[in-house]
Amino acid sequence: MTKKSGGGGRVQGPGGGQRQLHTRVKTARRRTASSARWLQRQLNDPYVAAAKREGMRSRAAYKLTEIDDKHGILKPGQVVIDLGAAPGGWSQIAAERVKSVDGVGYGRGQVVAIDYLGVDALPGVEILQMDFTDDDAEARLKELIRGGKADVVLSDMAAPTVGHTRTDHLRIMGLAELAADFAIEVLNEGGVFLCKVFQGGAERELLDVLKKSFKTVKHVKPPASRADSAELYVLATGFRGGASDEEYSG
């Protein structure tokens, strides 16, 4: 799928020509059927196996890898903000690709990650442990980033689910809208915003806002995003701060 090379920070995806063995999980007395299904899916997920094999923080690292391989949103020297970063998979990929670990001079990027959950230290990543929805979170982030502006804002945030589909969808869309407002405020011209959403019919307001401020807005679903999941990503590129003639492809 994708390969890892010293210069490009590219990460090899699952498979690698190795036979994938299917593991079955028995439903233990204390394990519910749903938890058994989740465990079986994890054990047989090639991205989970690849993440363990290649030292990635999570299988989500491959989602960003695949999106960036296709759309080229991460470049050496960029300033990146990762919202909802735990456990750090996206920050890990971003640090490699913008060269916040080994870059020099203007080619050295910066990655700032925020999450209310703890994130273990990552080379080339500055970690802020706090809730992005806190009143002073945005100001804290601006203080940390170089010049107070960013080139890329990433958001893989998801609100805790309550089990009611409509409510869960509205909650994650609320986070997406907060992330979009922040991106529009903090991005440099030409900047990129990538955000997780879920299919469910409540995205129009978010898309309308983004189309006014970015040249191109589109939905993307990388192969690492499970096919049976309602998860999608909105990719907005070419930030221009409110121009009116936009291009949209859904």
Residues involved in catalysis: 196
What one-letter code names the amino acid at 82?
D
End-to-end Cα, the chain, rounded Å = 25
Q: Is the peptide bond before 87 cis (omega within 30 degrees of 0)?
A: yes
Question: Are residues 83 and 131 in contact, defined by beta-carbon separation less than 8 angstroms?
Answer: no
